[in-house]
Amino acid sequence: MLNFDFPRLAAIGLTPLLLRQALAQAGDADATLCRVSRVQRDCFWLHDGDEERRAQVLPSLHGQLAVGDWALVQPQAAGPWRLLERLEPFNQLARVGDDGVRQLYASNVDTALLVMGLDGDFNPRRLERYLGLAASAGVAPVVVLSKVDLCPDAERKVEELETRLRPLPPILLLNATDPACRGALQPWLGAGQTLVLLGSSGVGKSTLSNTLLGVDAQAVGGVREDDSRGRHTTTARSLLQCPDGSCIIDTPGVRSLQAPLDEETLASSFADIAELAARCQFRDCSHKLEPGCAVRGAVANDRLLNYHKLQREMRRTEQTALQRQQQRREWKVRSKASRRR
C-alpha cells in the first residue's frame, strides 16, 4: 500500500497525474512517496514534504535519478531510506557532455529561468543554446537578465534579444539582490510549481535563489573583473522551497553547453529560420551559398552561424561510434591533401 499525504506532497510539486502513476507502480507494496531533493555525485537525498532524508540508491539507478524526480521509498528506522523505484518524469532537462553522455539537470520542471548577466557574461549565442535545452525537454523558458544595476545600456541589450530571438520568450531585467524580484517572477511562482535555474557560474543564480527564499540558503561568490567569470560556489543540484509554495532547483554553472537537440527541437528554437526556409528556391537549401536563399538576407548573420553550429553538433550526437571514426578518417585524408597542396 502506498503511503502519501497529497496536500503535503503537492506543496513540493506532486500532481494528480504523478500520483496515479505512483499508485499503479506501487500496487500492494508497502512504500512511501518522496521527491529527490538533492544530488551530489553519487549521494542522494529525499523529501517527504516535511523533511529531507539521506537515500540509499541501487547503483543501477544512479545514472537515471535527477533532482525533481519522484520515487517509491522504503523508510528505515535507522540509517538512509531505501529508494525502490523511480517514477517516469513528465519531462527531464539534460545536456550532452564532451563524451557524448547525457548529464541530468532536473526532472518534472514547469519553468526554466535562464539567467544571464548583463556584464561580460552577456552572450546571445549561449542563450540560444539554453533555449534549445529548454525546448528539448518541453519546459517553458523565462530569460532573466541579472545585474541590471551594473549595466547602463540594459534596455539596448533587451532590444537586441527581442529582435534576434524567435519565438520570443518572456525577458525580465532583474537585480538579484532586490526583493522586488519576487514580484517580477510572481506569475511563475505559484504553489506547487517547480522552477529550475540555469546559467553560467557567477550570473547570480544562487543570489536570486536566496532572494526568492528570503534566507541565505545558498553560498554565493564573486566574479573575476577581467572576464566576469564566476567561481563554482554551487556544487550540487538541490530543490529549495519558497515561502509562496513554489520550488526552485538551483544548479551549478557550466562553462560549455550542448543541448540534446533533434530536427524538430532545433526548428522550434529557430522558428524564424524554419519559416523562411519554406521560401527558399531549393528544398534542401543549407542557407549558406545557394542562390535564392530566403534565410540569409532576413536573419542576422551571427544567429544564422549559431544555427549552423548547433545543427552540426546535433548531427554529431546522432552519429554512431563507427560513423564518427569514419568521419575522423575522412578529415585526416582531407587535411593531408590540403597540406600537400
Q: pLDDT digits over 269-291, tens only? A: 999 999 999 899 898 899 998 99
Burial string for 209-242 (b: 16+ CB within 10 Å, else e) reads: bbbbbeeeebebeebeeeebbbeebbeebbbbbb
151 labeled part of a ligand binding site? no
- The enclosing H or E element of 332 equals helix 321-340
Q: What would the CATH number be for the domain defined by 2-86?
A: 2.40.50.140
43 annotated as ligand-binding = no
End-to-end CA distance of the chain: 74
pLDDT tens for each residue of 168-227: 999 999 999 999 999 999 999 999 999 999 998 888 898 999 999 887 655 444 444 444
| DSSP code at position 67 | B
Highest mean pLDDT among 105-109, 119-123, 215-219: 105-109
The answer to whether 280 is annotated as binding is: yes
Is 149 among the annotated ligand-binding positions? yes
Of residues 84, 88, 86, the one with CA closest to residue 30: 84
- The grid coordinates listed for 338 are 590540403
Tell whether 147 is in a known binding site.
Answer: yes
Superfamily of domain 263-340: Probable gtpase engc; domain 3 (1.10.40.50)
Q: Tell whether residue 336 is among the known ligand binding residues.
A: no
Instruction: Give yes or no for a contact between 51 and 24, defined as CB atoms under 8 angstroms apart.
Output: no
**What is the grid cell recorded at 311?**
545543427
- The answer to whether 214 and 260 are in contact (CB under 8 A) is no
Segment 83-99 mean pLDDT: 89
Judge: domain 92-250, CATH 3.40.50.300. Answer: yes
**Mean pLDDT to the nearest integer, 54-76:** 92
User: What's the rounded Cα separation, in Å, for the pair 288 and 196?
Assistant: 36
Residue 206 assigned as binding residue: yes
Q: Is residue 200 marked as binding?
A: yes
Confidence of residue 320 (pLDDT cuts 50, 70, 90): low
Residue 323's pLDDT is 67
285 annotated as ligand-binding: yes
Domain with CATH 3.40.50.300 in the chain: 92-250
Do the annotations mark residue 332 as ligand-binding? Answer: no
Alpha-carbon gap, residue 281 to 337, rounded angstroms: 34
Strand partners for 85: 72
Q: Is 335 annotated as a binding residue?
A: no
Task: Find out whether 201 is annotated in a ligand binding site.
Answer: yes
Rounded to whole angstroms, the Cα distance separating 225 from 258 reads 26
Alpha carbon separation from 104 to 60, 95, 237 (Å, rounded): 15, 7, 10
pLDDT over 90 (residue 120): no
pLDDT value at residue 232: 43
Domain(s) labelled CATH 2.40.50.140 in the chain stretch across 2-86
> Is 203 a known ligand-binding residue?
yes
Return the pLDDT at 40.
Answer: 85
User: For the chain, what is the radius of gyration of the CA atoms?
Assistant: 22
Q: Does the annotation place 233 within a ligand binding site? A: no
Neighbours of 54 (CB within 10 A): 13
CA torsion angle 230 235 238 240 (round to 10): -50
Is 205 assigned a ligand-binding role in the annotation? yes
What integer best gives the mean pLDDT of the chain?
Answer: 87
How many CB atoms lie under 10 A from the CB of residue 69? 25
pLDDT value for 112: 97
Tens-digit pLDDT profile for residues 135-147: 999 999 999 999 9
Residue linked to cell 544564422: 304
**What is the percent of the chain with per-residue pLDDT over 90, rounded to a whole number?**
61
Task: Give the residue range(s) of CATH 1.10.40.50 domains in the chain.
Answer: 263-340
Supply the pLDDT for residue 227: 43
